[in-house]
Amino acid sequence: MSATRAAAARLPVWTNFQTALALKATGVLYVFTTNRLHRKAYKSMELVEEEIFGRGIRCFFVKSGIDTAVDDRWRLPLQINARRNDPSMGICPRRLRRRA
């Protein structure tokens, strides 16, 4: 797993998080919302899919109520919430915002 920036990769919190995931030190990861994992939606999805769910760790998003342990229908709501929380989604032409 790679961090967004080189400086973020050196943060003790990030390295501790990576180590805890690698050792499966927890069975459940509680996250407030998707943008607390990464700022970009695709990075959040990659982290949840490969590093958390892929290792058999349950991930629960408190704000949206998405739980990876409930069933296999968590991916679409997670993608929608991650895209909504992505700061780059706010940068769109005015004509597109009027339609939404």
Residue 86 CB neighbour total at 10 angstroms: 19
pLDDT at 84: 79
- Asked if the structure places residue 41 within a domain, the reply is yes
Q: What is the CATH number of the domain that holds 62?
A: 3.40.50.1390
CB-based contacts of 18: which residues, under 8 Å, 6+ apart? Answer: 1
67 assigned to some structural domain: yes
Residue 47 lies in a domain: yes
61 located within any domain: yes
Q: How many domains does the chain have?
A: 1
Range of the domain at 69: 27-89
Maximum Cα interatomic distance, the chain, rounded to a whole number of Å:
48
Structure confidence at residue 18 (pLDDT): 87
Note if the pTM is more than 0.75: no
pLDDT reported for residue 42: 84
Tell me the mean pLDDT per 10 residues along the chain, length 100: 57 85 90 81 87 91 89 86 71 52
Residue 100 lies in a domain: no
Cβ atoms of residues 87 and 33 within 8 Å: no
Q: Establish if 6 belongs to a structural domain.
A: no
Contact, 39 vs 87, CB < 8 A? yes
* Confidence at residue 30, expressed as pLDDT on a 0 to 100 scale: 92
